[in-house]
Amino acid sequence: MNNDSAATEWESKAAEWVRHRDIYDRAFAAVTDAVLARADLRPGHRVLDVGCGAGTLLSRAHELGALPYGVDISAPMVSAARERVPAATVVSGDAQEADLLTETGSAPFDRIVSRFGVMFFSDPAAAFANLRRACVPGARIAFASWHHSAENIFGHGLRRVAATLPAGTLPPAPGIDSPGPLGLATASKIGTSMTPGGWTDIKATPVSVEINYGTEESTGVDERMQIALAGNTGRALREAIVAERGEAGWSEALKTIRADVADSITDGAVRFTDTVWIVSAINPGS
């Protein structure tokens, strides 16, 4: 079972993700820190970032003295990561089934990390088994996935406008424990995905993190709007509003979206909390 649907989706979203890389990095800074803390990276570690995107974890791993490798199913993401972290070896491929050591040219990995990159596998048990096969005995995996209670991040700023459209107009909400943003949303799904592949000492900790879109120059309203409108729901929302009400109707909708986002300004910035799983496990060896 391959990840063709995930590949198609990310090809369509990659350009926007890369363009907004700095916004994502600031907003998810607490998540990045939590993953790296759980990974316990050391200088000289060979570390593979799964679903490496535009290279955030690769950059941090390099700064910590590790040897960074990345894999992503989206070729535009791979190009962006290579440009950002020239010291990293980054390959385009499906981590669920690729021979990761052959593709990267690496010896077995000491660490595997991921920030929201492992929830899209069509067969997560097969994927985690494949990842373990690429590791040395005693290797650690550490990743972040969205918790089943996460809701702010997916509809923040869009809900009031979305409610004005007929039911079924927009894409359905992400399915809990189904391939997608909430693909590893429960502790049971995490366990049944990792245990068959041989991972042990699985620790899944729900962590409340602040998602902060503000900068020194901005409250973060524009930044959050850019992210919200670049996603599947945001793009479908614009298409539906323009079809029904024209560009003038979309201009009015943008005013409502801006007001909704601004309602989350606290201490001078758009910020809210949401919950993620910070997960780690150990490869006990053969």
Distance CA 7, CA 32 (A): 23
Q: How far apart are CA 17 and CA 24, in angstroms?
A: 8
List, in sequence order, every beta strand (DSSP E) within the chain: 46-50, 67-72, 89-92, 109-115, 135-146, 200-212, 265-266, 269-282
- What is the span of the domain harbouring residue 246? 4-282
Q: What is the pLDDT of residue 1?
A: 47
With 0-12 / 13-18 / 19 or more C-beta atoms within 10 angstroms meaning exposed / middle / buried, residue 53 is: buried
Split into its structural domains, the chain has a count of 1
Instruction: List the CATH number of the domain containing 160.
Output: 3.40.50.150
pLDDT in tens, the chain (286 residues): 455 666 666 666 767 778 889 999 999 999 999 999 999 999 999 999 999 999 999 999 999 999 999 999 999 999 999 999 999 999 999 999 999 999 999 999 999 999 999 999 999 999 999 999 999 999 999 999 999 998 788 889 999 999 999 998 998 888 999 999 999 999 999 999 999 999 999 999 999 999 999 999 999 999 999 999 988 899 999 999 999 999 999 999 999 999 999 999 999 999 999 999 999 999 997 6
At a CB cut-off of 8 Å and minimum separation 6, what does 195 contact? 202
